[in-house]
Amino acid sequence: MPAVAIAIALRRLRPAAGTINWPIVVTYFVAVAVQTVVMLRHPQAPKGVHDVPWVTWMTQAMFTDFLPSVLATTMAGYLFAALLIGVCVLSRARLLFAWLLYFSVLLWGLGITRVAPPVQIAWYGTGARYVYPWGIFMLWTLTLSIVNTRITSLRPIAAVLIFVILLASGERFEAQLLQQWEIRSGATSYHVTVPPGWSIDVAR
| Phi, psi of 191, rounded to the nearest 5 degrees | -100, 110
Residue ranges making up the domain that contains 126: 49-172
Pair (37, 18) in one structural domain: yes
Q: What are the tens digits of pLDDT across the range 142-173?
A: 999 999 888 889 999 999 999 999 999 988 87
pLDDT at 17 > cutoff 80 = no
Pair (98, 34) in one structural domain: no
In this structure, which long-range contacts are made by residues 108-111, counting pairs with CB atoms below 8 Å and at least 24 apart in sequence? 108/58, 108/61, 108/62, 108/134, 109/54
Is-contact 112 55, C-beta < 8 A? no
More reliable by pLDDT, 39 or 118:
39
Domain count, the chain: 3
More reliable by pLDDT, 115 or 133:
133
Pair (69, 23) in one structural domain: no
CA distances from 68 to 79, 129, 192 (A): 14, 20, 39
For residue 192, which of 180, 176, 175 has the smallest C-alpha distance?
180
Pair (100, 56) in one structural domain: yes
Pair (73, 90) in one structural domain: yes
Pair (91, 138) in one structural domain: yes
Pair (61, 101) in one structural domain: yes
pTM for this entry:
0.70
* Cα 128 → chain centroid: 7
Mean pLDDT of all residues in 2-30: 78
Pair (11, 78) in one structural domain: no
Please state at what angle helix 154-172 crosses helix 132-148, rounded to 10 degrees.
160
Pair (164, 69) in one structural domain: yes
pLDDT grade for 131, boundaries at 50, 70 and 90: very high
When mean pLDDT is compared across 44-58, 82-96, 146-160, the lowest value belongs to: 44-58
Mean pLDDT of all residues in 21-42: 87
Pair (37, 134) in one structural domain: no
